[in-house]
Amino acid sequence: MSAFSGPVPKAGIAGIHAYVPGKSGPKTGKVFKLSSNESPLGPSPKALAAYAATAGQALATYPDGQAKILREAIAARYGLKVENIVCGGTGSDELLQLLAHAYLQNGDEAIYTQHGFLVYPIAIATNDALGIVAPEHDFKADVGEILSRVTPNTKMVFLANPNNPTGTYLTFAEVKRLHQGLPSQVLLVLDGAYAEYVIANDYEAGITLVESSTNVVMTRTFSKIYGLAGVRIGWAYCPPAIADVLNRIRGPFNVSAAALAAGAAAMQDVEFIDAAVAHNSKWLPWLSAEISKLGVKVTPSVANFLLMHFETAEKAEAVDTYLTAQNIILRRVTAYGLPQALRLSVGTEEANRAVVAALTEFMK
């Protein structure tokens, strides 16, 4: 008889490294939490009002299981087909997990890039499939490296574009080349969690590829630019057959009433989103320039965060410890294979100036 006689999880679960979120730091004093890529502007006032309005009526009854108001708001904003939108209740993470659950099983392979989002290997292993890592070059996904790893067993490719934690992106031309090189039975998942921040003319989040293909899904989140990380909403735009599959296996009421209301209001508040883009477009290059002046290498980013590289892992840890003592909280990215780096979210003006001042003091 074995030493352990309780229930045994399916293969792959025991080898999963649990996702560790960005730390929150001390509970006393003014804290600049720049570890989770949250919006420094917070949520739209219209989203706050919509959220508050549900408080007295949404606790005792189930929400709309079809997420009608949210899907219609998304469709109106981007000119999409409502029936091809699927909403998730834990950001885009739920949708990534649902896609893996629906299309991966034992014997299958799924590809993700070297410094890709940590949810991908978790979703793959949870479904007893084999994760295949494609090397990045200069902290950027490489189409050739991905395609060279496609085999008859490949069923899915995860691509964060822009990527977290590097902030780099593939142009739409490169994404199309990737898609054209994939067999039709391979599902390409384009994770656009930071898409709204990108102002590059050669970027496209994936809407047109979804509409012209049967094997591309684009996922998005309300946790970043919309400032709604606390209510956890995501959405996916899918070909009809894939939307049908996800609707069959998702939870029947997977988005709360308060989240539906807040998300729909946030999606409609275009002026607020434009302000968030403008704030990021001002402070992202400022932070990159000021930090680079200190002799710290910064990977060029199109998202709302920067990846800073130090000479050694010990130096990165020392910087992190020093900043934490100043109530400035950054993200260690050792789990992403980047022990010598720290990720810095763009914050408020006060936070941005504080982190540069503290880094300047440390580097002396």
Domains of the chain: 32-41+271-363 (3.90.1150.10), 45-269 (3.40.640.10)
Sequence letter at residue 192:
G
The predicted pLDDT at position 292 comes to 98
How many whole angstroms separate alpha carbon 265 and alpha carbon 105?
Answer: 38
How many whole angstroms separate alpha carbon 98 and alpha carbon 189?
Answer: 12
Residues 306, 288: contact at Cβ < 8 Å? yes
The predicted pLDDT at position 133 comes to 98
The predicted pLDDT at position 3 comes to 61
Q: Find, among 118, 122, 162, the residue nearest to 141 by Cα.
A: 162
Rounded to whole angstroms, what are the CA distances from 152 to 65, 93, 155, 242?
37, 27, 8, 21
The secondary structure of 16-43 as a DSSP string is: PPPP-PPP---SSS--EE-SS---TT-S
The predicted pLDDT at position 154 comes to 98
Three-class SS state of 6: coil
What are the tokens at 336? Answer: 């992403």
What are the tokens at 22? Answer: 């960005």
Work out whether the CA dihedral 39, 40, 46, 47 comes out positive or negative: positive
* DSSP letter assigned to residue 115: T
The predicted pLDDT at position 1 comes to 44
The predicted pLDDT at position 2 comes to 52
Over the chain (364 residues), the average pLDDT of each successive run of 10 is 67 73 67 97 98 84 96 98 96 96 97 97 96 98 98 98 98 98 98 98 97 98 97 97 98 95 98 98 98 98 98 98 97 97 98 98 94
